[in-house]
Amino acid sequence: MKTAQRLRRQRRFAWRRLAGVGTVAAVGALFSWPAGLGLLALGLGWAWWCVEREFAEVLGEALTGAPHEDLSPRARLVLEPLRAQERVWRRRLEAARRDRERLIAAWDRLPVGVVWLAADGTIRRLNRRAEDLLQLQRRLHGGQPLALFLPEPRWLERIRASGEAGFTGEVPRRGETLHCRLQWVPLEEGEALLLVEDRTEAMRLERMRRDFVANVSHELRTPLTIVRGYVETALDAPTPLPPPLAGYLEQVHAQAVRMQRLVEDLLTLAQLEGTQPPPAKWVDVGELLETAAAQARGVAPEGLTVEVDFPPQPGAILGVRTELESALGNLALNAVRYTPAPGRVVIGARAAENGEGELFVRDTGIGIAPEHLPRLTERFYRVDRARSRDRGGTGLGLAIVNHVAQRHEARLLIDSAPGKGSEFRLRFPSGRWREGEAVK
Ligand code: ADP
């Protein structure tokens, strides 16, 4: 049936061409060069008709979808490269489909919850873990604004502002409370991924470790005080002790003092890590500098000067006095510890750009090689263990300083060059720094 139609159509084409040729010949006759013009038109029309017929037939065969073997040699010639290309595209399409399925399966097996958010904050997709942690369902909540289903609608803003560090919040789930870390990963065109990580177990273990260290330190405190007390009594006895015994007792005393310092630092760290900071108050910067300088002068050897560099308007820091004193005191003691006499230690404060401000401790001491700088705030990390111990260091000072900085939204910045000296800075954000009179 289709073939008959095609033939009829081809015949119609042929008649039209012949009519065209006839017309051209008639026009030619009028101008007395009929034969040439007519033959030319006839030839052109015939050629055009042949091409059209070929094309129509090949296309007709192609559209029947007949297997390759059943095609005419002419159609095979034309269709072979097209069908080869089609096979390539089909294979690629199939591979892309399989990859997509695998990606979706992997996305659902991720141990971290992931929510893909559109630019307007609505949920585009979420994986199984995110469904489980945030108590959402794809069918119900897809296309809805995520902010509505978080424990607090304001969370989304806080997560976005928290950057790479992420925001940790309590998420209720089936009668229990999870501690989840939520992190914002910006994508193209305002879209974003929200990563949700369950940190409940990690935080429990971290708390256990902290409690253990705090308890051990606490338990060691009393026996150490007693040992130190008896040793001091024996050393201060009116009748002098025989020389070897006095030497042994002095060793015991020095070690007891060192252990006591260690225990105190461990307790300070445990307290900084495990508790919320007390309410912040404006703390006078001038007083902070004086306290730290007095502490440093108390242990500085002869030939080492300790100076205070007051800014024109010392002002105040919004924070916890004891913690700020401890941080600046640690930096000042380190400066004295690692600066041989003759030398100079300067403890000061200055305003920085964007309304920020900083406390600094500068020394002309031994300095620190650049490769050690990133690890200095790790507990018990020392550049030179023996030297630190000789100078009464515990290896915990900068860890304490770093914790205090974090609790005050401040940053610890270190500039140092071996043999030249160091500058340690605590940089406070504008909201915590005020120039001029301290607000009591
Ligand atoms: P420590 O009790 O050993 O001083 P810290 O945590 O306070 O422990 O410091 C870690 C290490 O950083 C020190 O052991 C020392 O090597 C180095 N350090 C700290 N402050 C200074 C400084 N002002 N100059 C040179 N090195 C320093």
* CA 421 to ligand 1: nearest atom: 24
Q: Is the pLDDT of residue 393 over 90?
A: no
421 lines ligand 1 (CB under 6 A): no
Q: What is d(CA 72, CA 62) in angstroms, rounded to the nearest whole number?
A: 10
Beta carbons within 10 angstroms of residue 349's beta carbon? 26
363 lines ligand 1 (CB under 6 A): yes
Residue 78 CB contacts under 8 Å (≥ 6 apart), including other chains: 58, 62
Mutating to test ligand 1, I would choose from 362, 381, 388, 416 the residue with most ligand atoms within 8 A of its C-beta, which is 388
Which stretch, 1-15, 67-81, 144-158, 211-225, has highest mean pLDDT? 211-225
Share of the chain above pLDDT 90, in %: 60
- Beta strands across the sheet bearing 433-434: 281-284, 316-319, 433-434
What is the arithmetic mean of pLDDT over 80-92?
91
318 Cα: distance to centroid of ligand 1 (angstroms) = 27
Mutating to test ligand 1, I would choose from 331, 336, 338 the residue with most ligand atoms within 8 A of its C-beta, which is 338
Placement of tokens 């034309």 in the chain: 78
- Determine contact, residues 421/304, Cβ cutoff 8 Å: no
> Which residue in 376, 364, 382, 375 sits closest to 418, CA to CA?
364
Q: Is the pLDDT of residue 1 over 50?
A: no
Q: Which two tokens stand for residue 103?
A: 């990606």
Q: What is the pLDDT of residues 231-285, one digit of tens each?
A: 999 999 888 888 889 899 999 999 999 999 999 999 999 999 888 889 999 999 9
Q: What is the pLDDT of residues 29-44, one digit of tens each?
A: 676 666 666 667 777 8
Paired with 283 in beta bridges are: 317
Share of the chain above pLDDT 70, in %: 92
23 Cα: distance to centroid of ligand 1 (angstroms) = 106
Q: Which two tokens stand for residue 166?
A: 């992420």
Confidence of residue 2 (pLDDT cuts 50, 70, 90): low
> Which residue in 316, 286, 310 sits closest to 439, CA to CA?
316
Q: What is the pLDDT of residues 276-308, one digit of tens each?
A: 889 999 999 999 999 999 999 999 999 999 999
User: Dmax of the chain from CA atoms?
Assistant: 154
Q: Is the pLDDT of residue 109 over 50?
A: yes
Q: Is the pLDDT of residue 440 over 60?
A: no
Closest CA to ligand 1's atom 10: 382
Confidence of residue 10 (pLDDT cuts 50, 70, 90): low
Contacts of 209-213 with CB under 8 Å at 24 or more apart are 210/270, 210/273, 210/274, 211/270, 211/274, 213/266, 213/269, 213/270
Pick 389 or 236 by higher pLDDT.
236
359 Cα: distance to centroid of ligand 1 (angstroms) = 18
Q: What is the pLDDT of residues 165-208, one digit of tens each?
A: 888 889 988 888 999 999 999 999 999 999 999 999 999 999 99
Q: What is the pLDDT of residues 296-347, one digit of tens each?
A: 999 999 999 999 998 877 789 999 999 999 999 999 999 999 999 999 999 9
Q: Is the pLDDT of residue 91 over 70?
A: yes
DSSP 303-327: TEEEEEE--SSB-EEEE-HHHHHHH
* Amino acid type, 301: P
Pick 140 or 292 by higher pLDDT.
292
pLDDT of residue 25: 67
pLDDT of residue 6: 61
353 Cα: distance to centroid of ligand 1 (angstroms) = 28
Q: What is d(CA 26, CA 35) in angstroms, rounded to the nearest whole number?
A: 10
| Three-class secondary structure of residue 371 per DSSP | helix
* CA 367 to ligand 1: nearest atom: 25
DSSP β-ladder status, 192-198 and 357-363: unpaired
